[in-house]
Structure 1
Amino acid sequence: MKVELSVYPGPLAARRVDSVEIIIKIDSTRELPMWYEADVKLPPALSLSQTGMMGTGRFRIGICEPRGSLSKGIKVFSNHNTPPQLYKCDVALFAYDGEANQKDRSDMYVQLRCENK
C-alpha cells in the first residue's frame, strides 16, 4: 500500500478553538479488497475532540477495492491553551483482509503547524 498524509486547510490558529483535517490517502497495491483503520496520536496541546482533550483515537478508513484509492479526513482541534509551534502527529495505518487478519502496517507522522493569526 502507498500512503500519503497531508493537512487541510493549513495552519491551526494558536490560543483559540480552531480545526484542520489530517487527510489520509491510501493507494492499494493488493489484488483483493482490504479494510483500513488508523490509530492517531496527538501531542497534549491538540485534541481529536472539540469539547475535551482526546489525544488518541482509532478511525475506520474503510474498504478499498483491489488496486483502488481511498481517503479520509481526521479532524484535529486546537484550544485556548495551544501555543504556536510545530506539532508531530503520529499515524499508524493497518490493513486487514476479508478474514480480519492484519496484512500490513505503516507507521508515519505529519507535522502540524500552529501559529498566531
Structure 2
Amino acid sequence: MPIFPQRKLTFKHPKQRELRLNSVAKYNEDIDDFKNIKIKLSNERELQFVDGEWISINKSQQEEFDDTARLVRENKRLENENSTLNVKMDIMLDLLTECISEKEAIAKK
C-alpha cells in the first residue's frame, strides 16, 4: 500500500466578483462634505475643523474666518508655486551654464 495515495488535483475556480454599487465618482463628491466639518455646541458657539485643528467660531466671525481661510489656502498655493518656479529657474541656469562652458571648450580647440 502506498504511503501517499495518488489523488487527482482539481482546480476550483473562484467565484466572480459582484459589481460594486459604490463608484469612485460618488466618493469624490462625498470628500468635499468632509472638508468643512462643523459642530454646533450652543446657540452662539460653533467649532469648525480646518487643517487638522478645531477652531472656535461665533456666527459673527464666520465671514471673517472664511476670508482668512481662503487667504491662507491661496498663500500656501502661491508659496508652492514660487518654490517650483525657483527650482525651474535653477535648472535653467544650470543648463545655460553647461551650454556656455561647452561652447567655450569647443572654441578653445
TM-score, normalising length: structure 2: 0.24
The structure showing larger relative contact order (alpha-carbon pairs under 8 Å, at least 6 residues apart) is 1
TM-score, normalising length: structure 1: 0.23
Q: Which structure's CA Rg is the greater one?
A: 2
